[in-house]
Amino acid sequence: MTTTTTTADLRERAPALKRAVNELHRHAPYAHAFAQKRGGNVFRASTKTQAIEPVDPVSGVVLSAWTGRTLLEVSVPGLDDESLKQATARLVELVTKEGVVDGGPQIDPGSVVDEDHVVVEAVPADGLSLDDRLGRMVALKDRIHAKDKRVKNAVARGTHVRTEELFVSSTKRLWQDLRRGETVCLIVMEENGKVADLHGGKGRQGGAEHLGLAEKDIDELVDDCARLLSATRVDGGLWDCVFMPDMAGLFAHEAFGHGTEADMFTRKRAKGQDFLGKPVASEWVDMFDDPSLPGEAGSFFFDHEGQAASRTQIITRGVLTAPMTDLVSAVKLGIPRSANGRRESVQRKAYTRMTNTVFGPGTSKVEDMIASLEHGLVVRHARNGMEDPKGWGIQCEAYLAEEVRGGKKTGKVFSPVVVTGYVPDLLMSISAVGNATEIGGLGTCGKGYKEWVKVTDGGPALKLKARVA
């Protein structure tokens, strides 16, 4: 990521947002405004069809005012003066009805900041026609088919999204222009009546340079999908495992994602609150949430409540160090803010949300970790997961696990593979952490069943004991 000062239409609304904030300050001790525009396209080529579709557009403003007890908000889809005037009047009405609490928790507006930020595209997406970008997906689909005659369906989907955001408070005017490109492939194979499927891909900040996959990544997807045709179910039980980086990332997201989102603490919905300052993992374990990582798909320059992007260290040498916060949870709990106040859109409330959630690197080589397994599994191609923040139970599913005996892969594979357990038990069992970090960039995350935001996860490989079925 880099910083520049190019002109954008949304920044022209800053004076109007400032006027709205100033009016709100006449009635409430703190106020801010957040405007957002989002658009883009999805390019999809499958064995039988091709399509170009727009990303669901977003445009509008949300005004927020703190009463000393609660944060009241009004959102409107328009960016014009009249829409802002009506939204401001409505929010003043709500503040007056609610009443301001004298002596309630105060929000520090922070120091004066005026900044513009842009994600630079190495290959500007708008410099290519829609047909050219679709053509990249058609070529990718054709390359998959050419690699193995057992491929019955191949889907290549490329997405490019531009999100423009403006935050204004009494002390801040922040603007960011975020660009993200990603490519996902789905492969379906059939042989002797057995069908297997596998998906994978990568996403990063940037432009059309991310509409496509490297040849080695395509080869790995095709080869591993072919291996799934002979996969069986694993014998359930406790296994020594090596989680490859994608599976380690899913584990990080589910283990200490929602469980350390501080708005869950305010509702007594997260067991992690009881473990702050206590060991929850082996001493080999560090974990971070970091929206400031350069180029990652879940990165940004500031969150939707004006907090500058920075790293939060969730676990330090096995000890649960700090939660992630949004503005309201930080104020209510009296703890420092982190850059995790995020909205699905201006029509949605801000919650504490993950960004790029990763395990920190260790010192072990992945080949040495695998060689140390007497009888175990190498688990990769993460599929999906879920967590119960209150009970701290976890479930992570992967497409593929490879059997290891005497430190060598036997060639036998299992699919699907489901890992379950109590989060601290799994983390305490980690005995080695790899020295190389990888982040895939394809994830999205919901708060419960809704409120979807872009996230990524990853990390180094992990050696641990896991209950597998």
82-103 tens-digit pLDDT: 999 999 999 999 999 999 999 8
The CA-based dihedral angle spanning residues 159, 45, 249, 194, taken in that order and rounded to the nearest 10 degrees = 170
How many whole angstroms separate alpha carbon 182 and alpha carbon 178?
A: 14
What letter represents residue 56's amino acid?
D
Which residues are registered as beta bridge partners of 379?
243, 401
Nearest CA-CA partner of 228 in 216, 220, 237 = 220
Distance of CA 141 to the CA centre of its chain: 26
Provide the 3-class DSSP secondary structure of residue 426: helix
DSSP letter, residue 11: G
Which residues are registered as beta bridge partners of 243?
379, 462
| Alpha helix (H) residue ranges in 335-468 | 366-371, 423-428
Give the model confidence (pLDDT) of 202-242 as tens digits. Answer: 999 999 999 999 999 999 999 999 999 999 999 999 999 99
- Under 8 Å between Cβ of 63 and 74: yes
Residue 469's pLDDT is 96
Residue 1 in this model has a pLDDT that exceeds 60: no
- Under 8 Å between Cβ of 389 and 448: no
Q: What is the CA radius of gyration of the chain?
A: 24
DSSP letter, residue 123: S
- Select the CATH number that applies to the domain covering 9-227 from these four: 3.30.2290.10, 3.30.530.20, 1.50.10.20, 3.40.50.300: 3.30.2290.10
Q: Is 124 left (phi over 0), alpha (psi -120 to 50) or beta?
A: beta
Give the model confidence (pLDDT) of 345-354 as tens digits. Answer: 999 999 999 9
Domain boundaries, the chain: 9-227, 237-468
How many whole angstroms separate alpha carbon 350 and alpha carbon 391?
A: 24
Distance of CA 351 to the CA centre of its chain: 14
How many whole angstroms separate alpha carbon 239 and alpha carbon 463?
A: 11
- Under 8 Å between Cβ of 101 and 29: no
What is Dmax (Cα atoms) for the chain? 74
Burial class (CB in 10 A: 0-12, 13-18, 19+), 236: exposed
Residue 388's pLDDT is 87
Residue 9 in this model has a pLDDT that exceeds 90: no
How many whole angstroms separate alpha carbon 448 and alpha carbon 440?
A: 23
